Structure 1
C-alpha cells in the first residue's frame, strides 16, 4: 500500500464529496457530528500533524491553526491543510526519522499511514452525511486499517489515556486469512497479529467480517449485526467500548 497515494486520493474524494453540501448535515454513523465539523476537523488534523513534523515535537495550543480564519471557507481550510501536509510528506522518505506520538514508529511513514486512514475514515463520514453511497477502499488498505486501529489505538492510545478494561478477555478478530488477537482487562489492552488460525481457539470470542466491513466496524461506523460474532458477547462488548474511548 502506498499510503501517500491513498492520502492524496482520499483527500480529493473528501473534498469533492463535500462540495455544495449543507454543513449541518449529520453523519449517520456518528450522532452529534455533522459534515461541516468533519471537514474542519480534518483540516485541523493536517495542521497538527504538520506541527509534529516541522517542530520535532507535539505542537502546543496556539502553535497550529485549529479553525478556519474569519471568512475562510472550511473546505478551503481542509484543502490547504492537505496540500501542505502532502508537500511535507513528499519531501521526506518514509523511513526518515520524525517526531510522532507512537514510540514504535517515529518516522515520516507513521504520518503517511495515520493521515491516510484518518482521511479515508472521514471521507466515508462525509459521504454518509451527504447521502452518497460510501465508496469502498481496496482490501489491502482496509486490512492495514484494521491492523492500525488495533495496534495503535487499542494497543497504545488506551495506555496513554490510562484506560483499562474491567475484566480479562481475549477476542479474536478475523478478516479473510488475517487474524489478530486482542487482550483487554485491568492490566491494560494489547493486540497482535498471528499466523496460525488455531490461535483463535484460545479466544473467549471471535469477530469475523470482510475487510471493508471490519475496518468500519472497528471505528464504530457500522452496527454489530453486520459482523459475525461467536463466543462471549460481553468480551466483544468490552473490546467495542474500549475502542470507542481510544478513538473518540
Structure 2
C-alpha cells in the first residue's frame, strides 16, 4: 500500500518571489479553485512546486479504460504570460497515448481546449479533459490528424490487441514498487543500456520537489483506514 496527498488541495497564499504579485495571485486563485466540488477530478493529485508556482507537480491514477491501473506523474508548467497563454501539461516519463508527443511527452488537449481562452478556460477544465482522454470513448473519438503520436493511434485502431498488450505492460511498470519507491526498491541496472531511459533524467531533475510516495506497513495501513472511516462518519 502507499499513501498519496489528499484530493482537495490545501489553500495557498500568493507569496512568491520569482513572479509578479499579480501573476502569483492569479495562480493562487486557480489552485484554490480546485477545492470546489468537482474542481479537481478524482484520481488526480496536484501541488505547486516549492520553488516556483509556475510549476505544479501531479499524479494521475487511472481507474478506467485501457490504461486502468496506471500511475502517471506529470508536470503542469505555466508561462509568465498566464492567463493569456495556457499551461503545458508534460508527463515525467513515456506515456503510450495518441495525444502525448513521444519526444516532448507533452499531452495535447483536443477540442475547444486545444486553443486556450483566457479566463474562460481553467486548470480544472484541463485536468478533467486529461482524465477523460484516457477513457475508451474518448480514445475512439480521436481523429488521426489530432494525434500527436501517429504510431499509437494506428495501433489503437488497427492492431488493438497489440495496443492493449503494450499498454498493460506499461501500466504494470508504472505501478511497480521500483517505480513508486525507487529508494527502497532500486531497479537493477541494465547492461545493454548505457543511456538513461527517457523520463528518468527528468524525474531526477525534479528530485525531492516531485510528489513522493510512502510505503505503509500493516499497522500504518490499518490506522489509515480507521482514520478514513472516522472522517466519513463525521
TM-score strictly above 0.5:
no
> TM-score, normalised on structure 2?
0.30
Greater RCO (CA < 8 Å, at least 6 residues apart): 2
- The answer to which structure has the higher helix fraction is 1
> TM-score, normalised on structure 1?
0.29
